[in-house]
Amino acid sequence: MAGDYPLLRYSVRRILQAVPLVFWVIIINFTIIHLAPGDPAIYLASVTEATPEAYAELRKEFGLDKPLYVQMGIYLWKLLHLDLGYSTWHNSPVLGVIIDRLPATMLLMATAFSIASLMGVVLGVIASRYSYSVGDHLATLASLAGYSMPIFWLGQLLILFFALYLDWLPSQGMYSMRGVEPGWPAVLDVLKHLLLPAITYATYHMTLVFRITRGKMQETLAQDFILTAKSKGLNERRVLYRHALRNALLPVVTVIGINFAYVMAGSVFTETVFGWPGMGRLIFESITARDYPMILGIFLVVSMMIMLANLITDILYALIDPRVAYN
Amino acid sequence: MNANAENRNGLLRVSDLRTYLDVPSGVIKAVDGVSLEVNRKEAVALVGESGSGKSMTALTIIRLQPVVARILSGEILLNDVDLLTLDTASMCDLRGTEIAMVFQDPMTYLNPVMRAGAQVAEVVLEHQEVSKGEARSQVLDAFERVGIPSPQRVYDSYPHQLSGGMRQRVLIAMAISCRPSLLIADEPTTALDVTIQAQIMDLLAHLREELQNALFLITHDIGLVAEHCDRIYIMYAGQIVEHADTFTLFAEPKHPYTEGLLRSTLSPDKRVEVFETIEGQVPNPTDMPSGCRFHPRCPHVKDVCREESPPSLDLGEGRMVACWLYE
Amino acid sequence: MERRKVRFGSAAIFLVLAAVLVLTHIPGSAWAQKRGGTLVIGLEADPGHFNLIVKPGTTVQVPAVNIYNKLITLDFDLNPKPELAKSWEVKDGGKTLVFHLRKGVKFHDGKEMTSEDVKFSLEKCLPYNPRSRVFWKPVAEKVEAPDKYTIVVRLKKPFAPLLTVMGVIFGGPAIYPKHLWKDHVGSRKAFLNAPYSKKPVGTGPFMLKEYKKGSHVRLVRNPNYWNAPKPYADELVIRFVSDANTRLIALEKGEIDYLRAALIPWDQAARLKKNPKLVVLDKGGEATGQVEFMLLNMRRPITGNVKVRQAIAYALDKNQISQLATGGTAKVADGIMHSAMKWAHKGSFAQYKQDLKMANRLLDEAGYPMRGGKRFSLTVTWAKGRGFEGLAAEVIKQQLKKVGIDIKIESFDRAATLKKVYINHDFDIMMQFFTTGPDPKISVTRVYDRNNIGSANFNNAPSYINVGVQRLLDAEWQIPDVKKRGAAWRQIVDMVAADAPVIPLFETPFVHTHSAKWADVVTRPYCAYCTREDAYQK
Ligand SMILES: Nc1ncnc2c1ncn2[C@@H]1O[C@H](COP(=O)(O)OP(=O)(O)O)[C@@H](O)[C@H]1O
Ligand code: SF4
Ligand SMILES: [Mg+2]
């Protein structure tokens, strides 16, 4: 049945192959997190200035008094039943907390990711067209700067300039706290809040896409079939976008896909700087609170998202490149 | 212009063309004072060892010379219009319609991620006001014309799914799809099997009869041109060293280099590389010998040959040779 | 007619002048408090829920103190003031406390709050509060509700600090509705899993309206609040911003109206003060009463010598230290507890004023003569994380050089430093700030109690033992009369000052900042845990 859908069969197989990988990810995360200094009981006890007995009670409640392998077994057993556990800080099922935070991250990420990919590719194509011109050198320099600039720093710079100095945009958060009507004004309000974090978030990624697109475009433009395309009398735009870009895009797509992991990492910084109520900040807060089940749950969800992103990358690659067979 | 008036059959007239390439190691005088003519419906060959500047001559004619190239002097008249004075858009309009080009390696001159048919249809769509369906049927027509056995299948195939000969036919179909008056074929058979080579040469000859186009055939294999071309230009190190009609040139070569070339074709194994039968090496392109550029390899070298470059001597009846022996 | 007009005119002018005088000379409170506006408070993290019973950390407290009430509260001088209890009596030599409750106070769900709810909160909830139970468990015996509006708390023995402690949220319990919680008691988990963890119902000035995870909590005015017309703000929003810089920018931009002291770095205070859109105030730290100290290790031969310790105290210019370490925002400390505890903090012994002659003489007498400008070397230790302690150490080094004491400075991460100092006694001098409020029994005693040596962090690091002091420490907390108890403490303050196991340096600043559009944002001596029912828009 699936034989008629090679893509589907391929996807299913890839997902099945990922299962043992996810298992190892869980084991490793679990071990690392539990070996790191501190634990949720210590944190809770310290913020509440609890007594030693209270601390012991907390440890018992969180199951931290059991040997590590027992704790891991319990965790895996629960996981088999699709139970990600209970957040020690939020005191809610982990999955629920993640689902609460996911839309905000998705909004930010989808926006930033599309801005970055689109702008990166377009700028990369333009730069490749004007290879080694002054503009190209400047763009390359700027992209290097963008690439090496810490997100924290860039975010703060943008906040200082656009939010504080020019006072055009809100400095943080996702909503205005005062006087926003529901409906379109509320949507607009979210978009206003989205702009700066999306740009910050997009910058690192965009510079990367830019540099790769530019390089791959230069390589592709030197290839023979470009000469054929030009000899057909196609104008330059067609040659660039229809012939060169489609070929150069293959490695770019791979890079975008592989970078998804970094994009997730970038969300931690961006969301923290901009007070964006998404998963990135949830990670930050959960690590601060040593909220083991929460951290593990997020890592699990994130690794699955990364694997999914890689799968989508491969499928996209196959769709763009007719030479790829699913085997 | 007056000169052309007497030759109403004149299609392409190149005079004193110089295309120099700026490379890190110096300046390559790839095309250094080339003059040649192609008349309507005529088949003309440009023959020379690899690296002698044949391709650069052709590329300069359709103005697709690499970015490192500088055109220092010359005129390229096509139907009495100097191509070197045209703006980019007008040049694009001419490519594919008036002059078309078939390149050497069908493996690399087709876009790997575009279907064969689409690549050909693109030319039609670019230059003619036709619907997509119309373009498709024109392409299938052209495919049939170039002897593709199952045009429908090839139309929807990607290049990697086609054999080398088939690909070259696709490239030829692409070149003739808008019925150009001048078809430049740059080593169209070099990358192909011997059996296929003959088929492709026959095809080009056959098409010329049918479509009444002029053929400018570029090759390093002088044996290939004997039965297909009316006239021959011999090129060495960026310069035309001899010109005659085919019969005369084979019967009575004047230039020592031409002699060498002919000797190599007469040798039993036709595929032996030319420079192996002519003693010595092609000169270093950035450091040409003084005087006659052939003098380090010439069996008849005289003192004057080393000092001064030989003049182009008009031997009458359209014959030309550049050699001190005929002064 | 004409004369009346004139008289009327001059009366009007007088009135206007008077009004201008009043308006310009009496700050804040002279403005008419009117209702309206949304007060936005910045918080460093999403609390996750509002269960004050089991998680009395700051992030839960900041919203929760506006949803719940306590029996009593404190004024800036740390005197108990009525909240849900409109009055109280201390009986049986301090062994019985009787509280008379306000009548007609309603929970947010409309049910009346009575002594049953208070009894429930004290008996069933308080034992699960990891902070409050520390004060209650050792002394509480029984809680009775003889009638609907009376609560009687019986103690095993008198415990004088109890009233003060009850005035702060971490000491006294909030009052929870028994009818909602009664089936969710018995364990931490049971409390946490109750629906009222996330949908709190109290008697407080504000009610929960919206909780956007990771973003903010929105509270609205409780229309039936017993202390009407309070609260003045229509809405109270608590917004979660984890990045410190972003928080400050949001404040300067007006997206946040208030940041509590813990969220304002001192080095920013001077800059914020210049911003006309902001009000920077240094109050609300009275209940915490933080004081920066030098701790001197009495186990070491040099610092074990009382003359050396006194000499060091005389050699220091505390004004300069506080100026340089805190950017001039701190008040010099003149005893082992914060000056807010007026009833106890100051003895008759004049605190050490800089006197280099005296310092040199004491050092000579101690047997450390000056040789080539130097007498001996000591090491000052500070735990990484509080930059101002490092700065203070540098200033101290410069000052002690003048009397021939050569100071070396060392700094380790917090955990390592604490272990080195409090458990292993491996130090000469340690820079440390202590909470000293809201009652010295709670937070001062531990530092000088001989039974605390080496027991835990923040206890008796100098290894100080003074039998006289010990006797007073053991007895003072059972003295119900504040005057007598105060006298005992003044004696302790004097004795410790003379022995100088610690040298108090300055009271650490407590700079809150709020938008100039608002007034009365801080009206309690415990900033983070302060209700915002008094805050109003100007
Ligand atoms: N893109 C290029 N950049 C630098 N040098 C080139 C380039 N293309 C050709 N050349 C040089 O120009 C000369 C002529 O090359 P070409 O016209 O390709 O010769 P042919 O077609 O006769 O083999 C050679 O020396 C070759 O190395
Ligand atoms: S000019 Fe001289 S060197 Fe050149 S081909 Fe003729 S004889 Fe040979
Ligand atoms: Mg060539």
B108 within a domain of the structure (yes/no): no
Per-residue confidence (pLDDT) for residue C242, from 0 to 100: 84
Which residue's alpha carbon is nearest to atom 20 within ligand 1? B51
- C417: nearest Cα among C448, C451, C450, C386: C386
Question: Which amino acid appears at position A50 of this protein?
Answer: A
- CA A307/CA A301 separation, integer angstroms: 10
**Ligand 1 centre and the CA of A132: distance in Å?**
22
- A7: nearest Cα among A324, A315, A279, A316: A315
The binding-site residues of ligand 1, defined as CB within 6 angstroms of any ligand atom, are B 21, 23, 28, 30, 48, 50-56, 66, 68, 285
B233 within a domain of the structure (yes/no): yes
Q: Which residue has the tokens 């011997």?
A: B194
- CA C455/CA A241 separation, integer angstroms: 74
- CA C531/CA C204 separation, integer angstroms: 9
- CA C116/CA C124 separation, integer angstroms: 11
- Say which range, A287-291, B233-237, B302-306, C363-367, has the weakest mean pLDDT: A287-291
- CA A316/CA A219 separation, integer angstroms: 21
Per-residue confidence (pLDDT) for residue C1, from 0 to 100: 40
C202: tokens are: 């109290």
A1 within a domain of the structure (yes/no): no
Between positions 24 and 83 of A, the ones with CB within 8 A of C are 44-45, 47-51, 54, 57-58, 61
**Cis amide linkage into residue C462, ω under 30° from 0:** no
For residue C376, what are the β-bridge partners? C405
Per-residue confidence (pLDDT) for residue B3, from 0 to 100: 43
Interval B128-154 mean pLDDT = 91
B130 within a domain of the structure (yes/no): no
Higher pLDDT, A266 or A219: A219
B89 within a domain of the structure (yes/no): yes
B102: tokens are: 């078939």
Nearest CA to CA, how far is A244 from chain B (Å)?
Answer: 9
**Ligand 1 centre and the CA of B102: distance in Å?**
17
For residue B324, which atom of ligand 2 is closest to its CA? 1
Higher pLDDT, A47 or B223: B223
CB contact under 8 A, C214 and A100: yes
Question: Hey, what's the torsion of the CAs at C436, C437, C441, C446, to 10 degrees?
Answer: -30
CATH of residue B70: 3.40.50.300
**Ligand 1 centre and the CA of B235: distance in Å?**
13
Per-residue confidence (pLDDT) for residue A320, from 0 to 100: 74
CB-based burial label for B243 (10 Å; 0-12, 13-18, 19+): buried
B137 within a domain of the structure (yes/no): no
- CA A320/CA A288 separation, integer angstroms: 43
Asked if pLDDT for residue C389 goes beyond 80, the answer is yes
Per-residue confidence (pLDDT) for residue B277, from 0 to 100: 57
C249-259 burial, b if ≥16 CB within 10 A, otherwise e? bbbbbbbbbbb
pTM strictly above 0.80: no
When pLDDT is cut at 50, 70 and 90, the band that residue C24 belongs to is very low
- Say which range, A240-244, B227-231, B310-314, C10-14, has the weakest mean pLDDT: C10-14
Residue A192: partners with Cβ closer than 8 Å, 6 or more residues away? A169, A170
Per-residue confidence (pLDDT) for residue A29, from 0 to 100: 84
When pLDDT is cut at 50, 70 and 90, the band that residue A3 belongs to is very low
- Kind plus residue range of the DSSP H or E element containing C514: strand C511-515
When pLDDT is cut at 50, 70 and 90, the band that residue A1 belongs to is very low
Per-residue confidence (pLDDT) for residue C29, from 0 to 100: 47
Contacts of A223 in chain B (CB under 8 A): 108
Question: Which amino acid appears at position B204 of this protein?
Answer: L
pLDDT in tens, A8-32: 888 888 888 888 888 888 888 888 8
Per-residue confidence (pLDDT) for residue A209, from 0 to 100: 87
Higher pLDDT, C10 or B33: B33
Asked if pLDDT for residue C506 goes beyond 50, the answer is yes
Q: What percent of chain A has pLDDT over 70?
A: 96
Say if C241 is an interface residue toward chain A (CB within 8 Å). Answer: yes
Per-residue confidence (pLDDT) for residue A325, from 0 to 100: 60
DSSP 3-state of C169: coil
Per the prediction, chain C carries an average pLDDT of 88
Which residue among B305, B308, B326 has the greatest number of ligand 2 atoms within 8 angstroms of its CB, and so is best to mutate? B305
Domain that holds residue A296: 6-326
A314: tokens are: 């491969």
Contacts of A232 in chain B (CB under 8 A): 95-96, 122-123, 126, 174
- The ligand with the least distance to the CA atom of B257 is 2
Per-residue confidence (pLDDT) for residue C484, from 0 to 100: 93
Number of domains within chain B: 1
Asked if pLDDT for residue C397 goes beyond 60, the answer is yes
- Say which range, B165-169, C82-86, C115-119, has the weakest mean pLDDT: B165-169
Count of CB atoms within 10 A of residue C316's CB? 22
Q: Are B140 and B152 in contact (CB under 8 A)?
A: yes
- C527: nearest Cα among C312, C263, C225, C204: C263
Asked if pLDDT for residue C304 goes beyond 90, the answer is yes
The binding-site residues of ligand 2, defined as CB within 6 angstroms of any ligand atom, are B 255-256, 292, 294-295, 298, 300-302, 305, 310, 323-325
DSSP 3-state of C417: helix
Say if C333 is an interface residue toward chain A (CB within 8 Å). Answer: no
- CA A217/CA A212 separation, integer angstroms: 8
Q: Are B112 and B160 in contact (CB under 8 A)?
A: yes
A11 within a domain of the structure (yes/no): yes
CB contact under 8 A, C213 and A164: no
Asked if pLDDT for residue C467 goes beyond 90, the answer is yes
Q: What is the ipTM of this complex?
A: 0.86
Give the orientation angle of helix A94-129 with respect to helix A246-258, to 10 degrees: 150
Q: How far lies C228's CA from each of C105, C223, C526, in Å?
A: 11, 8, 22
Count of CB atoms within 10 A of residue A173's CB? 26
C-beta pairs of A127-134 under 8 Å, 24+ apart in sequence: A127/A210, A127/A214, A127/A217, A128/A213, A128/A214, A128/A217, A128/A218, A128/A221, A128/A240, A128/A244, A128/A248, A129/A217, A129/A236, A129/A240, A131/A218
Per-residue confidence (pLDDT) for residue A49, from 0 to 100: 66
* Residue of A225, A240, A324 best to disrupt the B interface, most CBs of B under 10 A: A225
DSSP state of B254: -
Asked if pLDDT for residue A92 goes beyond 70, the answer is yes
- Say which range, A5-9, A244-248, B65-69, C65-69, has the weakest mean pLDDT: A5-9
Per the prediction, chain B carries an average pLDDT of 88
Contacts of B127 in chain A (CB under 8 A): 233
Residue C304: partners with Cβ closer than 8 Å, 6 or more residues away? C297, C298
CB-based burial label for A265 (10 Å; 0-12, 13-18, 19+): middle
- CA A272/CA A285 separation, integer angstroms: 9
pLDDT in tens, C403-415: 999 999 999 887 7
- CA C44/CA C14 separation, integer angstroms: 50
Asked if pLDDT for residue B41 goes beyond 80, the answer is yes
Interval C334-358 mean pLDDT = 87
Asked if pLDDT for residue B133 goes beyond 70, the answer is yes
pLDDT in tens, C117-155: 999 999 999 888 877 887 888 888 999 999 999 999 999
DSSP 3-state of C168: coil
Contacts of C278 in chain A (CB under 8 A): none
For residue B15, what are the β-bridge partners? B75
pLDDT in tens, C98-107: 999 999 999 9
- CA B287/CA C196 separation, integer angstroms: 90
Per-residue confidence (pLDDT) for residue C28, from 0 to 100: 44
Interval A40-54 mean pLDDT = 74
Interval C345-373 mean pLDDT = 89
Q: Which residue has the tokens 């896409």?
A: A209
- Kind plus residue range of the DSSP H or E element containing B11: strand B10-23
C431: tokens are: 């820079």
Asked if pLDDT for residue B5 goes beyond 60, the answer is no
Contacts of A231 in chain B (CB under 8 A): 62, 64, 95-96, 100-101, 103
pLDDT in tens, B261-317: 888 765 555 544 544 556 777 788 888 888 999 999 888 998 999 999 999 999 888
A154 within a domain of the structure (yes/no): yes
A244 within a domain of the structure (yes/no): yes
- CA B254/CA B241 separation, integer angstroms: 10
Q: What percent of chain B has pLDDT over 70?
A: 93
- CA A124/CA A136 separation, integer angstroms: 9
Q: What percent of chain C has pLDDT over 70?
A: 93
Domain that holds residue B298: 3-98+180-326
Question: Which amino acid appears at position B33 of this protein?
Answer: G
Q: Are B291 and B307 in contact (CB under 8 A)?
A: yes
Interval A273-288 mean pLDDT = 87
- A98: nearest Cα among A300, A311, A310, A269: A300
When pLDDT is cut at 50, 70 and 90, the band that residue C27 belongs to is very low
Q: Are C31 and C44 in contact (CB under 8 A)?
A: no
Number of domains within chain A: 1
Per-residue confidence (pLDDT) for residue C21, from 0 to 100: 45
CATH of residue A189: 1.10.3720.10
Per-residue confidence (pLDDT) for residue A2, from 0 to 100: 40
Higher pLDDT, B105 or C495: C495
Question: Hey, what's the torsion of the CAs at C56, C58, C62, C67, to 10 degrees?
Answer: 0
Q: How far lies A243's CA from each of A118, B143, C341, in Å?
A: 18, 22, 81
Per-residue confidence (pLDDT) for residue A264, from 0 to 100: 75
Q: Parallel, antiparallel, or unpaired for β C518-519 and B312-316?
A: unpaired
Angle at C64 between CA C61 and CA C68, to 5 degrees: 125
CB contact under 8 A, A167 and C189: no
Per-residue confidence (pLDDT) for residue C350, from 0 to 100: 65
Per-residue confidence (pLDDT) for residue C14, from 0 to 100: 54
Per-residue confidence (pLDDT) for residue C15, from 0 to 100: 53
- CA A222/CA A232 separation, integer angstroms: 17
- C109: nearest Cα among C256, C36, C210, C207: C207
CB contact under 8 A, A234 and B100: no
Question: Hey, what's the torsion of the CAs at A144, A147, A148, A153, to 10 degrees?
Answer: 120
Per-residue confidence (pLDDT) for residue C11, from 0 to 100: 54
B149 within a domain of the structure (yes/no): no
Higher pLDDT, A127 or C56: A127
